[in-house]
Amino acid sequence: MRRTSDRKPTCCSFLVPIRLTHLYAMKPAALVSVVILVVLGIAVFFGFGTYNSLVDSDETVIQSWADVETQYQRRSDLIPNLVRTVQGAADFESETLEAVTSARARATSINLNADDLGDPAKMEEFMAAQQSLSGALGRLLMVTENYPDLRATEGFRDLQVQLEGTENRINVARRDFNGTVADYNRAVRRFPGSIIASITGFDRKASFEAVSGAEKAPVVEFD
């Protein structure tokens, strides 16, 4: 008696090679059905792989954006201490401090979630607010050049060091974010990712480009 194989069927059992004699014996309609089944199976297999790859790229972009927000929040948290330190200097320009406080308030009022990363208008609004704050901070640091006693204090110098480190981390986070967005957008535009993306709702995302005339971060210099 012929023994029955104990091997369990796999998820791709339908792709088990068919003998040529069996193919020749099939009616044309049945043969077409087999071919269609095989093609559909291959398409589904690669479709799931492409979809999972898009999910991974999307999650990488979201995580990179979280890093950008973290660094901007760190800078925002340093500003109140900077303002309080500078206010201690006699006759310091109140308009400069007010400009920094106002710019910080606007920057912190604009938040982007994962869904907003595909909206260029919202991204531009966020960038403009952050660049406005960068400009206000730059002007504040320039004005402090007229107050050597203030710049000599330990508290002010510590804040300068922290601001410089934060600005560097912001630049790194932005560059990394733009890199992940570029990779994601390429995956969305290339075949077969473009087909899967259009079906499953993966849209292109906006990169973080500096507003014209505000590409440079505030420069922190030491005496």
pLDDT at 2: 42
Q: Is the dihedral of CA 142, 131, 100, 150 positive or negative?
A: negative
Expressed as residue numbers, the domain containing 190 is: 28-200
Q: What is the pLDDT along the chain (223 residues), one digit of tens a residue?
A: 444 444 444 444 444 455 555 555 556 666 566 566 655 555 554 556 678 888 899 999 999 999 999 999 999 999 999 999 888 776 778 889 999 999 999 999 998 888 899 899 999 999 999 999 999 999 999 998 888 888 888 889 999 999 999 999 999 999 999 999 999 999 998 888 788 887 888 899 988 876 544 444 444 443 4
Domain membership of residue 7 (yes or no) is no
Identify the CATH number of the domain in which residue 125 sits: 1.20.1440.20
Domain membership of residue 211 (yes or no) is no
Domain membership of residue 2 (yes or no) is no
pLDDT at 194: 82
Sequence-distant (≥ 6) Cβ neighbours of residue 128 within 8 angstroms: 211
Domain membership of residue 125 (yes or no) is yes
Token reading at 156: 């002010």
List, as own/partner pairs, every contact residues 204-207 make where C-beta atoms lie below 8 angstroms and the sequence separation is at least 24, other chains included.
204/118, 205/61, 205/117, 205/118, 205/181, 206/117, 206/118, 206/119, 206/120, 206/123, 206/124, 206/181, 207/177, 207/178, 207/181, 207/182
pLDDT at 133: 95
Domain membership of residue 14 (yes or no) is no
pLDDT at 198: 78
Q: What is residue 212's DSSP assignment?
A: T
How many structural domains compose the chain? 1
Domain membership of residue 5 (yes or no) is no
Domain membership of residue 215 (yes or no) is no
Domain membership of residue 122 (yes or no) is yes
Token reading at 209: 């480009």
d(CA 49, CA 209): 31
Cβ count within 10 A of residue 41:
14
